[in-house]
Amino acid sequence: MADNTSQTPSLEDASSFVLNATTFRAQQVLAKLQQQLENAEQLQLQSHILAPWIKQIDTVVAKSGNTRVIIGIVGATGSGKSSIINALLGEKQVIPTNCMRACTAVVTEISYNDQPGLPWRAVIEFISPEAWRKELDILLGDVNTAAGSIHDEDSEAGIAFSKITAVYPSISKKNISEAEVETLMQKEEVSNYLGTALQFFEATSEQLHNRILRYIDSKEKVGVHYADIGWSSSREMDNIEYWPLISRVCIYGKAPVLRTGCVLVDLPGVADSNSARAAIAKSYLKNCAALWVMAPIIRAVDDRTARHLLGEGFKRQLHRDGTLSRIRFVCSKSDEIVIREARRELDHIQDFVDGVAHIDLAKTNFAKDLNAANLGLAQAKRDLQDAKERHARIYKEEQAYRQLRNLAASTKSPIHPPSLTDLAKKRRNDEDNAMESPTKRTRFDNYLSRASQSSPGGDEASASVKPVPSTVPATPQPVVQDLSKPGMTVAAITTKIVELSQARSAARSEKDEAKGRKENYTNELEELKMLEEEILAREWSACVLGRNKYTTSSIQADFAFGLQDLARDDAQENDENFDPSEEPETDTYVASSLPVFCVSSQGYQKLQGHLEGEQVASRFSNLADTGVPALQQHARKIGADQMLADEEAFTNDARRLLTSLRLWSTCTEEAAASYFRDADAKDAVSVIDELVQDIKNRFQTTCTSIQGVVDNRTFRILPIASNTAGDRAMITVERWGKSPKDPVEPGLYYGTFKAVCRRDGTYTNPRRAYNFGEDLLKPLMQKVDVHWNSVFDTALKGRFTNALRDCAEKLENFKGSFRNILKTRCASEDTKTMFEDQSVRFVKSLHRISKDAGKVIDMEQKEANRLFEECIEVAMKSAYRACAEECGTGAYARMKAEMRQHVQGNRETMFLQAADRVRTELEAMLTKVETTIQEEVDELCSGFRQDCLNFISSNSREFTELEESCQKDILAALDEVDTDFCSLTTSKDINLDPTLQQAFQPDEEVAMAAQEMNRPETPLGTSEEQMMFFEEEMEPLEDDFSD
């Protein structure tokens, strides 16, 4: 029976729910507190004192935005991306699954709808007029370059023609040469959409799907109503397809998988002819927290998808970005399997053989039982037939003797027995007549009879059917006597009738017994048929799960081979002592731990009841085996992990700020004066100042160290790599111009070469993707890539880790001294606990500053490493334009000559200029990071210093009457704040955002998470505990990059 029960929230979901609720309440509290501070400031109550607090609240609140974790989904057409996304959302259809070109041309983003009102919303964004004008110019150029190849849909001209006529259906192959860009741009039905956006609100996903389908479907000729964009006309624009004009589709829904902040993005690719769409796809790819590579399960292994990973350039970019560990493989259509072939492929795997042994045993026993049942049924049918014939024969003979007895009684003379030959003839005649009996006619005859009764003509047709004559004679036929036998008296005949009657009863018993056996065997065969279905279903399931396991290990191995290919190429390029017989060093952990999901969206939708009335071959009996729930949980966890981290950081900063405010509000003039009469006051201040200065210096040293690492491992290699690229540039250009039929390094066809130049060096057709800039930069990037990722990922993170360790040790030493000061001051237990908690918050805030700096470095280095290709594109633009304008006889030769001349004249400078641009951006990034860290560390340390002084009431100035009044007001507000925080999980009536209230139903997991998230904060009491904290929270530093 299918397991269709709804899933309870996971612990991650519950924790994120509690934290989200805490964040919401904290935002309300801080807003209220900020308002009171601003009111006090407006009354000129020591504005120079209150302004810093207001600024700190602004800073903390600004970091409490909604979490957005982008999951990019890539895959070839037909990989099942749309179907899997629909299954992930738990809906029958959100994204169209039949618009192949639209789905591969438009970025589709799906995120959680946090707005009130209807649960489903969509925004369709159209490209700008400038972008469409540029693309039209490119498409018309493709068509006019090779007009004769328009009929070939896969050619550059054929693809361009299809795209133009999708938007302008009145254009034909005959008049395409007359089309002009400006004329087409003036068409109102197109120009009124460019640069605009349409928004739709619907109650269900299906309704939303139907609304957006008309805009992005490239298969059906559906019209678009003017009313959708606010026009007064009610006519429709016939046959126009709008998917080429769309830059992005954003869908918002209340699907559970989106609730933790994950955003699913269907990425069509980054080599689109439209620069706006390509830029959007690149931006998403750069910001992905996870990248899902999808392929049908058969092609995933056969095509070595994991090894080739959508091209070498794509794989190198991921390695450069440090995002290879974020890749997940999703194998779709796991239910498409041929059992015989699967058994042949899997029978060499012992685990699989052991797992299906009981199924094979059941199949063997089933075959025996089925054979026995069939034999038993056949024997029962024969026995039944024999009993029927014997019963009929005895009955006929008995009836004949009864007639003869009547004849003997009337003639009062002996009668000869009936002739058995005559009885046999009568029996055969009766059987022949029975063949025509209405009760014995076949089911097919009955169908014919029903068809004739319902055929046109009605009663006339039925009247034409002649009734079958009855087989029972109206009067008994005379019995033929066998004169060769002696005559029988009435008494003898009566005795014979009794014998025949007894024999007939015995025959009837045999018939009933045979009939019972037949029914039993028939029922047994029905049960065996059901058992066969169950055995086949189990074998099918075992083969599917076995293939899933085999596919997972194969893809992980292929992924490892792909990393080895990359490392081998780099080693061959950079290592003079390269030995091809030795395996290059790769990150085997990333490959072996690569998450692979084998899913069946069709099987999941069937069990969810979304495919009623449709023929589906899937035999899954529970949702888990479809793989979709595991993928849903994985997506939710990606979002939940980031949400937990963001909101824990926010609540930590909020509590640290509120504690600082409370300390300031409770620091009275009397307490300060009494303490500063003590002789140890200056020593305490000195200890605090020493800690603050040590922490500032340590982070300053870290920033300097980071600069040194980048100088040594990145900047130093850039000139060398640039010269290498310049030296090899002409080899690359010559390869482009080779014959397309070259068996070793095939070149480009004329039309393809020109299409690439029209698109500034990047172009993708059904055969492959072309990127001239990437080709030219490959020698440079092979040298840069060796250290790029290790510098910006491992080395820089390691230095922050070291700095935090040192700061934690310094803080631990300081805490020992400060506890003695608190003890000397006879501080209360509440004060001591507050100090310990504030110290933990201080360390966590340092950790947050380091993580934020790491995020800035990560994003900026991604921007910087993409500048190489951008700079080369600019340097090559004049060559691209010149080649694109060439036409006529000898055009291709002139194009290749122009390309060679341009690269030859610029190869010594364009790569160095690109490297200088990258260096400038990285230097600006390092300066920005250093400034930000210094400012935030200074502000944090100053706050902690003031907290420590307030802990010992070490305030040397006198308090004014207005200050004391303000302190009392703030203290009262803080008391209310504490009440609000405490009531967060204890109150049953929390005033939360409606979307949060809908997120989860209260259950044990939520209660446990609430208890866990709101337990009292414990200090990091010992150095050992401090180190355990950092070992769990941060990545260890590699030995190669130690200071």
What is the Cα–Cα distance from 74 to 591, expressed in whole angstroms? 19
From 268-272, 892-896, 969-973, the region with the lowest mean pLDDT: 268-272
- 449 has a pLDDT exceeding 70: no
What is the number of domains present in the chain?
Answer: 3
Helix 490-574 with 312-321: angle, nearest 10 deg = 70
**Domain extent at residue 369:** 361-431+476-538
349 versus 671: the higher-pLDDT residue is 349
Digit-coded pLDDT (tens) for 923-948: 999 999 999 999 999 999 999 998 99
CA distances from 668 to 173, 345, 822, 950, 957 (A): 89, 81, 17, 9, 11
- Beta-carbon contacts of 21 under 8 Å, excluding residues fewer than 6 positions away, are 984, 990, 992, 996
| Confidence band of 147 (pLDDT split at 50, 70, 90) | low
How much is the pLDDT for 824?
Answer: 81
How much is the pLDDT for 386?
Answer: 93
Read off the DSSP letter of residue 488: B
How much is the pLDDT for 400?
Answer: 86
How much is the pLDDT for 562?
Answer: 81
SS (HEC) of 507-567: HHHHHHHHHHHHHHHHHHHHHHHHHHHHHHHHHHHHHHHHHHHHHHHHHHHHHHHHHHHHH
What is the Cα–Cα distance from 140 to 29, expressed in whole angstroms? 60
Tell me what the mean pLDDT of segment 993-1009 comes to. Answer: 38
Copy the structure tokens of residue 43.
């009354």
Domain boundary among 511, 538, 565: 538
DSSP 995-1032: HHHHH----HHHHHHHHHHTSPP----SHHHHHHHHHH
Same domain, residue pair 531 and 673: no
Instruction: Answer whether 1013's CB lies under 8 Å from 18's CB.
Output: yes
Beta strand 197-202 pairing with 120-126 = antiparallel
- 599 has a pLDDT exceeding 80: yes
- pLDDT > 90: percent of the chain: 42
Domain boundary among 519, 538, 557: 538
Tell me what the mean pLDDT of segment 163-169 comes to. Answer: 90
How much is the pLDDT for 184?
Answer: 94
| Confidence band of 477 (pLDDT split at 50, 70, 90) | low
What is the Cα–Cα distance from 263 to 290, expressed in whole angstroms? 10
Same domain, residue pair 423 and 455: no
Same domain, residue pair 459 and 481: no
How much is the pLDDT for 401?
Answer: 86
Copy the structure tokens of residue 48.
């120079």
Angle 556-560-561 from CA coordinates, rounded to 5°: 115
- 871 has a pLDDT exceeding 90: yes
Q: How far apart are the first and last CA of the chain?
A: 62
Angle 278-109-333 from CA coordinates, rounded to 5°: 100
From 262-276, 310-324, 659-673, the region with the lowest mean pLDDT: 659-673
How much is the pLDDT for 729?
Answer: 97
DSSP 940-995: HHHHHHHHHHHHTT---SPPPHHHHHHHHHHHHHHHHHHHHHHHHHH-S-----HH
Tell me what the mean pLDDT of segment 345-357 comes to. Answer: 88
- 444 has a pLDDT exceeding 70: no
Please report, as a single letter, which amino acid is at residue 885: E
In a domain, 66, yes or no: no
| Confidence band of 582 (pLDDT split at 50, 70, 90) | low
Digit-coded pLDDT (tens) for 669-709: 444 444 444 556 778 888 999 999 999 999 999 999 999 99
Identify the three-state secondary structure at position 293.
strand
* pLDDT, averaged across the chain: 79
- 629 has a pLDDT exceeding 60: yes
915 versus 278: the higher-pLDDT residue is 915
How much is the pLDDT for 232?
Answer: 39
- 856 has a pLDDT exceeding 70: yes
How much is the pLDDT for 631?
Answer: 96
Same domain, residue pair 533 and 448: no
In a domain, 795, yes or no: yes
Q: Phi and psi (nearest 5°) for 41?
A: -70, -35
- 998 has a pLDDT exceeding 70: no
Residues 284-312 as b/e (b if ≥16 CB within 10 A, e otherwise) read: bbbebbbbbbbbbbebbbeebbbbebbee
- 443 has a pLDDT exceeding 50: no
What is the Cα–Cα distance from 66 to 648, expressed in whole angstroms? 13
Please report, as a single letter, which amino acid is at residue 920: T
Same domain, residue pair 462 and 516: no
Same domain, residue pair 801 and 870: yes
Same domain, residue pair 922 and 947: yes
- 366 has a pLDDT exceeding 80: yes
Nearest to 108 by CA among 34, 229, 215: 215
From 152-156, 402-406, 938-942, the region with the lowest mean pLDDT: 152-156
Same domain, residue pair 836 and 925: yes
From 8-17, 54-63, 299-308, the region with the lowest mean pLDDT: 8-17
721 versus 561: the higher-pLDDT residue is 721
| Confidence band of 980 (pLDDT split at 50, 70, 90) | low
Digit-coded pLDDT (tens) for 381-396: 999 999 999 999 999 8
How much is the pLDDT for 569?
Answer: 75
Instruction: Answer whether 199's CB lies under 8 Å from 229's CB.
Output: no
DSSP 890-915: THHHHHHHHHHHHHHHHHHHHHHHHH
How much is the pLDDT for 99?
Answer: 42
Instruction: Answer whether 721's CB lies under 8 Å from 783's CB.
Output: yes
Copy the structure tokens of residue 558.
């292929």
From 522-536, 631-645, 988-1002, the region with the lowest mean pLDDT: 988-1002
What is the Cα–Cα distance from 797 to 705, expressed in whole angstroms? 12
Same domain, residue pair 480 and 460: no
In a domain, 881, yes or no: yes
How much is the pLDDT for 420?
Answer: 60
In a domain, 427, yes or no: yes
Same domain, residue pair 365 and 445: no
Digit-coded pLDDT (tens) for 1030-1043: 344 334 333 333 43
How much is the pLDDT for 61?
Answer: 82
What is the Cα–Cα distance from 652 to 602, expressed in whole angstroms? 45
Same domain, residue pair 534 and 674: no
In a domain, 501, yes or no: yes
| Confidence band of 282 (pLDDT split at 50, 70, 90) | confident
How much is the pLDDT for 102?
Answer: 41
In a domain, 751, yes or no: yes
How much is the pLDDT for 407?
Answer: 84
Tell me what the mean pLDDT of segment 75-86 comes to. Answer: 86
- 1006 has a pLDDT exceeding 50: no
- 484 has a pLDDT exceeding 70: no
Query: Half-sphere exposure of 449 toward its Cβ, with a 13 Å CA cutoff?
Result: 12
Read off the DSSP letter of residue 714: I
821 versus 35: the higher-pLDDT residue is 821
- CA 956 vs. chain centroid, Å, equals 60
Digit-coded pLDDT (tens) for 832-842: 898 999 999 99
828 versus 960: the higher-pLDDT residue is 828
Identify the three-state secondary structure at position 828.
coil
* Edge-to-edge order in the sheet of strand 596-598: 197-202, 120-126, 246-253, 107-112, 262-266, 69-75, 290-296, 327-332, 596-598
Model-level pTM?
0.79
Domain boundary among 488, 510, 538: 538
In a domain, 481, yes or no: yes
Burial (CB count within 10 angstroms: exposed 0-12, middle 13-18, buried 19+), residue 803: buried
Instruction: Answer whether 160's CB lies under 8 Å from 143's CB.
Output: yes
Residues 147-163 as b/e (b if ≥16 CB within 10 A, e otherwise) read: eebbeeeebbbbbbbbb
In a domain, 446, yes or no: yes
Please report, as a single letter, which amino acid is at residue 130: E
Tell me what the mean pLDDT of segment 480-500 comes to. Answer: 82
Same domain, residue pair 486 and 466: no
Beta strand 120-126 pairing with 246-253 = antiparallel
How much is the pLDDT for 348?
Answer: 85
| Confidence band of 789 (pLDDT split at 50, 70, 90) | confident
Whose tokens are 């709808």? That residue is 113
Task: Give the max Cα distance, the chain.
Answer: 157
